[in-house]
Chains A and B, each alone.
Chain A
Amino acid sequence: MHKQDFERARRAFLKAGGSAFVLSLIMGGGFATFVAHAGPLEALSEDQAKALLAMGRTLFPHDSLDDRYYQNAVNALDTKAAEDAQLRDQLLEGIGQLNAGGSFAGMDEEMRVAVLKKMEDSAFFQTVYGESLNGLYGNPEVWKIFGYEGSSVEHGGYLERGFDDITFIPKDS
């Protein structure tokens, strides 16, 4: 299992490097600054945007989150594609592949996963993956839902706010 992980991560590293996505995928998934994006769509049609939204929901499925948390990444891609013809072509081609066997957004989750598995190595997949990860997990509203507390210095850190409040194991003396 370790060897496979190793190989997979190594390939992901090598692939990410040298492309414009080095920061967004390797460091920036975590370290890129989150920017909220709102519509209307500029480069993509409603149907194309729906396919990307379904892709985001398939990559990081959280049934308790409504679509607006996933929509942010779609809008970010749309904004970038409006200024970058190469990216727009990549997205349109990728969306075409998503829909090759029928409407991707209309498929059940098992089918959507099967479609994405076949596309994992594509540049399109990497693009949407990085944007979806950042758009979802970089969103401070989503942090609150899952328990990440963000900046703490203005609250005096955690010295008096639970840095050692663990309960499920006994504390080291």
Chain B
Amino acid sequence: MATFDKNDDSVVVIIGSGAGGGTLGNELAQKGIKVVCLEAGSRLTLSDIKNDTGEMFMKLSWLDPRVGSGQLPAGLPAWICKTVGGTTVHWAGAALRLQPHEFKGATTYGRLAGANLLDWPTTYDDLEAYYTKAEDKLGVTGTNGRPRLPGNNNYHVLAYGAKKLGYKDVHTGNMAVNSREYGGRPKCQQIGFCMSGCAIGAKWSSLYTEIPAAEKTGNFEIRPESMVVKINHDSSGKATGVVYVDKDGATHEQKARMVCVAGNSIETPRLLLNSASSRFPQGLANSSGQVGRNYMSHLTGTVYAVMPGEVNLHRGTQMAGIVRDEDAHRPERGFAAGYELETLPAFGFPGVASYMKPGGWGREYAGDLAEYRNIAGLWIVGEDMPQESNRVTLHESVKDKNGMPVAHVHYQDHPNDVAMREHAWKQATAIYEAAGAKRVYTRLPFPSTHNLGTCRQSARAADGVCSSFGQTHDVKNLFISDGSQFTTSAAENPTLTIVALAIRQADYIADQMNKRNL
């Protein structure tokens, strides 16, 4: 394990250690490039991971203050992580490629009033080889010869109903959860607590893959509990390092040859905006005014069904179950883009009681909860429209313990999102009714775990923040390395694409360093 001097300006500083930052750090370290990774959260080990939804929520989540508005919960606008490994500790493991047409949102969907659609400057073909690399890194089931996972009871209810309705593309998905031993990680034991952290490491997380692998190279240092508050630059407009606060509240500067930001789509724009200077008064890399805008969180929703027999949906891999037939763009349904239906992580009995019908009470509701064993559920995840007014800004008055303005996150559905959710609720209800449901509950999103788009890729500097490689248009040694890069959200869970982009970005950075362009 390496340690680097804070004045060593030959290191690449990466902010965040999740799917983007953790992957990029390891890829660069493997190439012999020196990396200091600054992570706001603390470092857990597998023995810290318990099968306890409440305890793990408190251990993993980003609970620093944020302000939500629009339709977001005011105090918890998003549910993401603050821990080494970031949201890869918490994710369910669904690892899907985006579809080729989804990289061309503006071209495919045409003009939609209020939607700030743009084609990605990256195509599916640009990313295809990197998707394969990402799938091999994560050990994704159902790809490159790896078998799919077996389905749990909740999957069988979904599959039975879906096939009765005529759906064809129904299976246990492409999961970064081992169906057999792979990558030094064991086979999934169907424990049922994926989103509280996988206690045996069968699910890929950068916490116990990328980060230790990077440390072994001697080129990588991770500093947990190090919250970056500002990116510095010189008079030529080049990034020179970052200012961060350690766990004792002491402030440090780490010099850098290059800075890569991977703090998830709320913290990444917050940091760029907080790095405003006389040269960059709108914030760093924000000459377009697009930093923080086009915040997307996926069109989501949930459906629960009380079935005629036992499901015990807490048993088994939470999200290994998918219906993909609705993920194409078929405007005759009354909306653009598409969605997936995926088996639901139920978050235990108290989770079902809280979320099946928020605010629900009385004899009918309690009666359905008493049939907990018989409850099945699915999660809707679809493409939401980018809107300029959905955005992350610095809050005017609320500050965190370091004195940094907190993120104000605003989100309101686009009419296309509303139409898609209505369609998905209707189809999901039909699926469960076809399987014999006694009652079906449809409900709105949980606080978002998919946060995307706030520093989007664009071909033209005026339309977005960074290039196809995540390099910011304004500051050439500043990179965006997380889901903030997404130009549009697409229907698929985003992690695999974040990993593929990070591997590709590492190749680009190494190539540019060799050519002495960076």
Does B associate with A?
Answer: yes
Which chain B residues lie closer than 8 Å to A116 at the CB level? Answer: 361
Known: A61-B366, A62-B366. A31 touches B436 (CB 8 A): no
Q: How far is the CB of B53 from chain A (nearest CB, A)?
A: 5
Q: How far is the CB of A56 from chain B (nearest CB, A)?
A: 10
- Contact in complex: A159, B422 (CB < 8 Å): no
- Contact in complex: A172, B156 (CB < 8 Å): yes
Is A96 close to B, CB under 8 A?
Answer: no
Complex CA distance for A150 and B53, rounded to whole angstroms: 9
Q: How far is the CB of A168 from chain B (nearest CB, A)?
A: 3
- Contact in complex: B79, A27 (CB < 8 Å): yes
Which chain A residues lie closer than 8 Å to B362 at the CB level? Answer: 58-59, 61, 113
Is B169 close to A, CB under 8 A?
Answer: no
Which chain A residues lie closer than 8 Å to B159 at the CB level? Answer: 172
A22 nearest in chain B by CB position: B75
Interface residues as binary, A28-50 with B (CB distance below 8 Å gives 1, 0 otherwise) = 11111110000000000000000
Most chain B beta carbons < 10 A, residue from A19, A60, A120, A170: A60
Which chain A residues lie closer than 8 Å to B351 at the CB level? Answer: 30-31
Q: Contacting chain A: which of B16-24, B66-74, B510-518?
A: B66-74
Interface residues as binary, A137-170 with B (CB distance below 8 Å gives 1, 0 otherwise) = 1100011001111111110111101111111111
Is A101 close to B, CB under 8 A?
Answer: no
- Contact in complex: A172, B151 (CB < 8 Å): yes
Which of A13, A17, A27, A60 is within 8 Å of B369, CB to CB? A60
Which chain B residues lie closer than 8 Å to A129 at the CB level? Answer: 359, 361
- Contact in complex: A158, B316 (CB < 8 Å): yes
Which of B54, B73, B199 is within 8 Å of A31, CB to CB? B54
- Contact in complex: A31, B156 (CB < 8 Å): no
Q: How far is the CB of A32 from chain B (nearest CB, A)?
A: 5
Which of A62, A151, A171 is within 8 Å of B51, CB to CB? A151
- Contact in complex: B151, A150 (CB < 8 Å): no
Q: How far is the CB of B163 from chain A (nearest CB, A)?
A: 7
Complex CA distance for A158 and B354, rounded to whole angstroms: 24
Interface residues as binary, B361-387 with A (CB distance below 8 Å gives 1, 0 otherwise) = 111011001101100000000000000
Q: How far is the CB of B382 from chain A (nearest CB, A)?
A: 15
- Contact in complex: B193, A31 (CB < 8 Å): no
Report the contact-size class of chain A (Cβ under 8 Å from the partner): 35 or more
Is A52 close to B, CB under 8 A?
Answer: no
Q: Contacting chain A: which of B89-97, B132-140, B307-315, B493-501?
A: B307-315
- Contact in complex: B349, A146 (CB < 8 Å): yes
Known: A8-B359, A157-B189. A150 touches B51 (CB 8 A): yes
- Contact in complex: B75, A17 (CB < 8 Å): yes
Known: A31-B58, A134-B350, A151-B51. A164 touches B71 (CB 8 A): no
Report the contact-size class of chain B (Cβ under 8 Å from the partner): 35 or more
Is B129 close to A, CB under 8 A?
Answer: no
Complex CA distance for A27 and B447, rounded to whole angstroms: 9
Complex CA distance for A40 and B444, rounded to whole angstroms: 40
Known: A9-B359, A17-B75, A27-B79. A152 touches B192 (CB 8 A): yes
Main secondary structure of the interface of B (DSSP, over half): loop
Complex CA distance for A116 and B362, rounded to whole angstroms: 10
Which chain A residues lie closer than 8 Å to B151 at the CB level? Answer: 164, 171-172
Is B127 close to A, CB under 8 A?
Answer: no
- Contact in complex: A159, B190 (CB < 8 Å): yes
- Contact in complex: B193, A13 (CB < 8 Å): no
Which of A60, A148, A154, A168 is within 8 Å of B372, CB to CB? A148
Most chain A beta carbons < 10 A, residue from B51, B68, B151: B51
Is A102 close to B, CB under 8 A?
Answer: no
Q: How far is the CB of A103 from chain B (nearest CB, A)?
A: 21
Known: A22-B75, A30-B353. A158 touches B156 (CB 8 A): no
Which chain A residues lie closer than 8 Å to B361 at the CB level? Answer: 58-60, 116, 129
Is A5 close to B, CB under 8 A?
Answer: yes
- Contact in complex: B73, A153 (CB < 8 Å): no
Complex CA distance for A164 and B50, rounded to whole angstroms: 23
- Contact in complex: A32, B54 (CB < 8 Å): yes
Q: How far is the CB of B517 from chain A (nearest CB, A)?
A: 46
Which of B53, B55, B157, B191 is within 8 Å of A166, CB to CB? B157
Complex CA distance for A2 and B159, rounded to whole angstroms: 24
Q: Which 5 pairs show the lowest CB-CB distances between chains A and B? A: A17-B74, A168-B309, A157-B189, A22-B75, A29-B354
Q: List 25 A-B contacts (CB under 8 A).
A: A10-B444, A13-B72, A13-B73, A17-B75, A26-B76, A26-B447, A27-B79, A30-B347, A33-B52, A60-B369, A61-B366, A129-B359, A133-B353, A142-B349, A143-B349, A146-B372, A148-B314, A149-B312, A152-B191, A163-B315, A166-B157, A167-B310, A168-B308, A168-B310, A172-B155
User: Which residues of B line the A interface, CB within 8 A?
Assistant: 50-55, 57-58, 68, 71-76, 79, 150-153, 155-157, 159-160, 163, 170, 188-193, 199-200, 307-312, 314-316, 347-355, 358-359, 361-363, 365-366, 369-370, 372-373, 422, 425, 435-436, 442-444, 447
